[in-house]
Structure 1
Amino acid sequence: MSKKEKSGFLPLEEEKSMDKKSVSKSKDVTPRNVGQTPKSQGMFGGFKNSISSYIKKKIETKIMQFLRDQKPKVQDKIRDKAMPQCVQNFMDDIVEENWPILEEEVQYQLRIRTDVPFVEVKKPDVSCFCWPCWKIRSLFQYSLMPYDKSLGQKIRNPIFLLGFLAMLCPIYGVSSFYFILLFLIIDKSDEYQLINFILEFKRLQFFSIGVIGGTIGFYMYFKCVEENTHLSLSIQQNCYQYGPSMLIHPRIDLIAFGINILLVWITLIFLPFSEQKGKLRFKNAEIEEQKESERKEKERQKRLKKREKLQKKIETELEKLEKEGKVAKFEDLAEKYKMKQFDDLDEEAKKQQGCCSFQRGGGMKCLIIWDILAFGLAFLFFYNGFRLENKQTFEDAKGHIYFTKWIYAMLSFPFLLFSVPLVSSLLSRARPTAYDMYGNTVPVIGQVEYDDDLMDDIDDDLEEEGVLNDNDTQPGTNTNRNN
């Protein structure tokens, strides 16, 4: 085994070749480097890496500070002083609300190029009884939504091709049953997978049932009316037998159609309980964050002990006042001892205890409200045709079922707009995820640009100038901190 494999971090090329074999026969977590190869460790390798890490951290700090300084300038530039004050305040609020998102995105993209991004591939510990179901599910997950394959590689997989064709088939409920299968295999604890399921269903519904189904329906109605001149049947009888209704199986289509509508609404229920699994992890950043979290936890424990001491002191003083016959409340003494400074400790505890967040999904909740209204409009059309035209059975209303589905599909157009990559960020900040060969939900490797490390040129320049070989140069505590 090579040194790179022992270290647990694999370059992208070696990673893809390992996928075809076996990443690890053990069931432990295997971290995988997705963007960089480990630095060579020569005589001055460790010292060079320390200097490089220190410079990268300084650059990130300077860039983030520069962004924070630009926020007031941006607010001043976009503010139109000729507009009413309420409009100016509204523009300021928009910048204030979206600026942290910009900072987070810049920091994330910067770390992809300057840090060591990696994903974890974990082989689940599955019992023999559950192994067949897990194997089938992970096979479909990795075939339909692989995390490390391009479109050209996907279409070579027959399972992906069959799924793609099933999505586009608007007749006999084929596309509907495909999305039922898709709902069963996706990770319902990941925010992106839930949002992507809704958007993908609505996008394909618009094209397959709306555009393709509408075109087929229009052509078949046109054909049945034209052919009526050559037949003894009336236009109504001819279009009933040879129109779009001949593509409808009432029970199957209604059941599949109803189940898919419910699946979209059920998916919305899962959103508050989901989490974001699409962020790459960064080796150096995690070390710093772990140190920072340990420092904050120590500080929190100190404050908790201090609050307990003050509470005991207040209780002791209350007992003395009661013995003296004086009336006093805990709140009065709490103000005296400035207990309000510890209120944030209770807020942090409540945040840690929370099992869900209604901020998950973002603007998707508004689109679901639109979807409910669209369903109401489509149902009114069906009710008008079924009851007011004295239809006795669903078999008699096959044409109305066909066009009810078409109306509902065409009203899915707003979901299509939010499928555009830049616009989709308005719905949610969840980053794209897919599945590895074990069915784990991991970040999509295709979303990462595998450029060379931005700091390689800086390292080479430092080495050429002799800075790294100068024994008099001492980084001091900064080098030790990054080690």
Structure 2
Amino acid sequence: AYYAVHTNEKRSTVTLNQKSRFGIGDVYFLAIAMGMCEVVEGDIKRLSERAVHMVSGQKIEADVCLKLYGFNGNFDVDRLMNIKSMFGWWPDEDFRRFVIAEPIGVNATQFGGTSFSPGIRAWVEQSAHFLWYPSDWQIIINCGLMPKHPADPENDRPAYVVDARHGTSCTIAVSTVIQALATSESERQRRAHHVPGDLKRRKQLECHPMQRFLDECRGEWEDYGRKWKGVVRRGTSDVEDTSPRAAREALGRENLAGSLAFQGAKPPSQAKVNLLEVTAPVRRKLLVHLRDMLKGRMLSDPAMWTWLRSAAGTAIDQMWGDFAHEVERGLHATLVQQQAESDAAGPSGRFSCWWRFRAFVLHHYLPHNRSFFGKLQDPVYIAIYLATLIPIHGVRVTIFAVILLMLMFPGPPDEFQMINFILLFKGMQFLTSGLIAMGLASFKYFRCFSWYKEDPLSCIDASGPGASAMGLAVDYLGSITLVWIAFSLLPASRSLTQRHTALDQDGAGGRLRHLLFYDMKCFAVSLLALFLLTAATCDDVRLESGVVQQFSQLIGQRQFRENVFWCTVIYSLLSLPFTAFAIPGLQTILTHSDPTGYNRQGACVVWRLAHASANQVPRAPEQAYDPFDWYAKVATKVFTVMERGREARGVEEVASWEFRDLSRGLWLKLFRRSQEARAGPASAESPSSAPADGKVASFMRQVTSLGREARGGDSPYRFGDFGRGLYWTVKAGRRDSDCPSCPAASVHQVPLGVSSVRFVPEDEEEIDGHVFFCIEVIAEGSLDAEGGAEPWRVRRRYGQFRELALKLG
């Protein structure tokens, strides 16, 4: 549930109810939803420099303090009109005086437009009607439905300033009681001075196209996100829709159609899939509680800096979203147990030696069935890994260039392999060109100083860390060139599991893209350092010579090669953030990409860890019985029944189950009132449409339907409807006209043509704390309309008059 937003039990209609106006409500809602606003209730004791001291002893840091007076009316209007109390829009029940101001707050269910003119026209018509037809005013006074509002001097609120609830109640009451002011669309079309509904709809869509309206809303929302948090979250928002339908759709889109839709995989077990769908809200709720508990523990220090608290909270939220995503993916991969095709044929054709060499290298270096520890048992992998660690300039870049060539051809490359290549290459750069190169350079300096004390500079010039000019250039420029070649291929790559991965998601793709731009900035910093070091140390270059000659002189200088070496080391050490992705399992969480690997034929397939039982003979399909399927079916049915019982209990929060929900759900299942049947046509809920499966069952269904009608008519069935319906059934035997749903009402299966409808104020009755109003209806062409017999009476709650009018036609 969101601030000021209320829904019915079916979540089919929404009511906005708040004291503030629309603009204030929108900003307040967004601030709360995005964590930028904190509500503190209390009295202010005093103010000090950048602090507000509360009476409770709490100290709040603040830079600006605003005192808001709100929107106040003018008491001169009350004195001028001599208003003691407002009767709707009329002071003191006098229809000759009409005073109206825009109602404060919001209380609306259906929005017919965004301008004032339709509402103002209705106000004008209401005020003018009673001047033209004064005899109708007595009907308004006798109906007892008009709201009243006296002045409230303590809150500085005159009598004529009413709230949105007062205005809504007044409009509904007047338009319902006075037939000439009826608000139904069919009645409006019959009146010549009203614009037909189809023309109004067409003009509205011409002026405000739906797609443009949605784009404006989305753009404004993202603008708030950029201004307040610096990010725009799509897909997974802080404000979550916890409805069962949204949970099923999100789960089906993101997981079933993604991580389970492997090429060549066997169909999943439907029982397990259903179980995962039903329990999805429970898992989401549990993960949210764990996240809140973790944030409470980590951010509980009151002395923590404000900026650090905000940054840590944002980091936890983002990382927790990745963690929750991987929990869902792991559950689906484990429970559904789909077996991907691992024996797919690899590329072939001309240059067969190259294809065999490619399959050999990729299968051993990027296997489809081995983890990091499993690869350590492979001598070929160890040889390739040690070759990338050789501290010789250009060797590491050459090996990774060959591997990138193997990944690119034949195309298109796999998305996970491109991401994995970038992270592996940068991680090895930090290790090889950073730590190992720095350690070897220190050892070389120590060697020259210890064994060549007479002339250590000659030793450094001959065998120092910057001796190889060509190798330095290849290592320095190749470190950024290969990375950006792989990154440029990502948009053209394909995802083997057809899932949204690194570049499509704000979380994963954003981090990888930010890291690569960080790498470019580090390269620029190293170039700047090289320029400054060259300008400070290389002073033997002749300035009068050309650019090519100057560059040749620089390359030939031993000092310049030393500068290049240490700038390469600095650039490699700055690649430290990439090493976090090398941790087993963390790369999948941070990039949201499903791992893949290469089989013996050189084909890219889904990564599956080889178990000890992989070589066992599989059971025949008719013998492959999984006992967990039976438990999954039973658990799915139990959770479905409890979810139905929760909805009947009237609780909107998903997965907020009680033990009694099981009995409520079984009761609803007995009468075959599932959620799809409740959303169907009204005739499907009537007792006459029930199947003839026994007199007892039919009688119980009729009694329960009658009890629901007495309680309200359209809400889902509840456990107490049978007792309430039995009470009205017994009472109907003594006085049929007092029944909230008379027998005459049940025979009308089509909309009626109404001859007259009038209220019976003296025949209202209160049942279970709800007031039921009685109206008399005479259908057109009936004997009652011609002979003046007793009309058909029906009782309804106040909020059901509009729906009843639609049913009556």
The alignment's TM-score, normalised by the length of structure 2, stands at 0.36
Q: 2:562 aligns with which of 399, 424, 444?
A: 399
User: Offset of 1:141 from its aligned partner?
Assistant: 1.2
- Residue matched to 1:123: 345
Q: From 215, 224, 227, give the equivalent of 2:451.
A: 227
Query: Matched residue of 1:361: which SS?
Result: helix
Partners of 1:411 and 1:144 lie apart in 2 by 26
- Is residue 457 of structure 2 the alignment partner of residue 236 of structure 1? yes
Equivalent residue in structure 1 for 2:576, among 409, 413, 419 = 413
Distance 1:277 1:241, change over 3 A: same
Larger Rg computed on CA atoms: 2
The equivalent position to 1:456 in structure 2, one of 612, 622, 627, is 627
Q: 2: distance between equivalents of 1:402 and 1:217?
A: 9
Question: Corresponding residue for 2:694?
Answer: none
* CA displacement at 1:170 relative to structure 2: 1.8
In the alignment, is the contact (CA less than 8 A) between 1:146 and 1:436 conserved in 2? yes
Q: Which amino acid aligns with 1:377?
A: V
Find out whether 1:186 has 2:407 as its counterpart: yes
Residues 289-343 of structure 1: per-residue CA shift (max 9 Å, x gap): xxxxxxxxxxxxxxxxxxxxxxxxxxxxxxxxxxxxxxxxxxxxxxxxxxxxxxx
- Please name the residue that 1:169 is paired with: 390
Q: Aligned residue for 1:14?
A: none
Shift of 1:76: 6.6
Corresponding letter in the other structure for 1:63: T
Q: Which residue of 2 aligns with 1:365?
A: 513
2:609 is matched with which residue? 446
Deviation at 1:215, TM superposition (A): 0.8
Q: Deviations over 1:411-462 (max 9, x none)?
A: 11111133334653564101222111222222221299989x9963675999
* Highest RCO, 1 vs 2 (Cα 8 Å, sep ≥ 6): 1
Change (3 A) 1:162 1:73: closer
Q: How does 1:27-426 map to 2 (within 5 A)?
A: 31=264, 53=269, 55-70=271-286, 104-120=325-341, 121-124=343-346, 126-127=348-349, 129-149=350-370, 154=375, 159-186=380-407, 189-229=413-453, 231=454, 233=455, 235-245=456-466, 248-277=467-496, 357=504, 361-388=509-536, 389-390=538-539, 392-396=553-557, 397-421=560-584, 423-425=586-588
Alpha-carbon contact 2:394-2:475 (below 8 Å) kept: yes
Greater Cα offset, 217-226 or 390-399: 390-399
The secondary structure found in structure 2 opposite 1:161 is helix
Identity of paired residues, percent?
22
Structure 2 residue identity aligned to 1:393: L
Aligned with 1:442: secondary structure?
strand
Question: Who is 1:4 aligned against?
Answer: none
Displacement of 1:220: 0.9
How many Å separate the matches in 2 of 1:265 and 1:461? 47
User: Structure 2: how far apart are the matches of 1:243 and 1:89?
Assistant: 48
Unaligned segments of structure 1, at least 5 residues: 1-28, 39-51, 281-350, 463-483
Q: Relative to 1, partners in 2 of residues 1:278 and 1:169: Cα closer, same or farther, differing over 3 Å? A: farther
Q: Give the equivalent residue in structure 2 for 1:340.
A: none
Q: 1:268 & 1:30 partners in 2: Cα distance?
A: 25
5+ unaligned residues in a row in structure 2: which ranges? 1-261, 541-552, 615-623, 634-809
Pick the structure with more helix per residue: 1
After superposition, give the CA deviation of every residue in 1:119-178 in whole Å (9 maximum; x if it has no partner): 123225633x25343333222211211112456764565543331121101213211111
Task: Find the residue that maps to 1:437 and give its secondary structure.
Answer: coil
SS at match of 1:434: strand
Task: Assess if the C-alpha contact under 8 Å between 1:144 and 1:160 holds in 2.
Answer: yes
- Alignment TM-score, normalising by the size of structure 1: 0.58
Letter of the 2:331 counterpart: L
Alpha-carbon separation, structure 2, partners of 1:449 and 1:102? 29
Measured in 2, the distance between the counterparts of 1:378 and 1:454 equals 62
Query: How many Å apart are 1:402 and its aligned residue?
Result: 2.1
Task: Say if 1:205 and 1:412, in contact at 8 Å, map to a contact too.
Answer: yes
For 1:212-268, what per-residue CA distance to the aligned partner results, in whole angstroms no more than 9, with x for missing partners? Answer: 111110111122123343x3x3x43332224323xx421233134313311111222
Measure, in 1, the Cα distance between the counterparts of 2:522 and 2:569. Answer: 11
Alignment partners' CA distance in 2, 1:358 and 1:461: 32
Matched AA of 1:172: H
Structure-2 separation of matches of 1:194 and 1:181:
14
Once the two structures are superposed, residues 98-135 of structure 1 have per-residue CA deviations (whole angstroms, 9 ceiling, x without a partner) of: 777556534432333332412123225633x2534333
CA gap of 1:225–1:368, structure 2 versus 1, over 3 A, is same
Distance 2:316 2:386 in 1: 43
| Mapped partners of 2:269, 2:311: distance in 1 | 41
8 Å CA contact 1:64–1:103 kept in 2: the answer is no
Between the aligned partners of 2:632 and 2:307, the Cα distance in structure 1 is: 53
* Residues 220 and 189 of structure 1, relative CA distance in 2, 3 Å threshold: same
Secondary structure (helix, strand or coil) at the match of 1:418 reads helix
- Give the distance between the partners of 1:91 and 1:208, measured in 2 at CA: 32
Give the distance between the partners of 2:312 and 2:520, measured in 1 at CA: 31
Q: Secondary structure of the equivalent of 1:118?
A: coil
Q: In 1, are the aligned partners of 2:496 and 2:606 still within 8 Å (CA)?
A: yes
SS of residue paired to 1:211:
helix
Task: Please tell me the residue identity of whatever aligns with 2:345.
Answer: K
The answer on whether the counterparts of 2:322 and 2:590 sit within 8 Å (CA) in structure 1 is no
Question: Aligned partners of 1:89 and 1:244: how far apart in 2?
Answer: 45
Q: Which range moved further: 85-94 or 69-78? A: 85-94
Letter of the 2:554 counterpart: T
Matched residue count: 337
Residue 222 to residue 106, structure 1, CA distance change in 2 (3 Å): closer
SS of the residue corresponding to residue 369 of structure 2 reads coil
SS at match of 2:339: strand
Which residue does 1:45 correspond to in 2? none
Structure 1 position 58, deviation (Å): 3.9
Distance across 1 between alignment mates of 2:395 and 2:522: 22
Aligned counterparts of 2:312 and 2:533: Cα–Cα separation in 1: 48
**Contact residue 202 and residue 416 of structure 1 kept, 8 A:** yes
Q: Which residue in the other structure is 1:13 paired with?
A: none
Q: 1:447 to 1:362 in 2, by over 3 A?
A: farther
Change (3 A) 1:106 1:383: closer
TM superposition shift of 1:408:
1.2
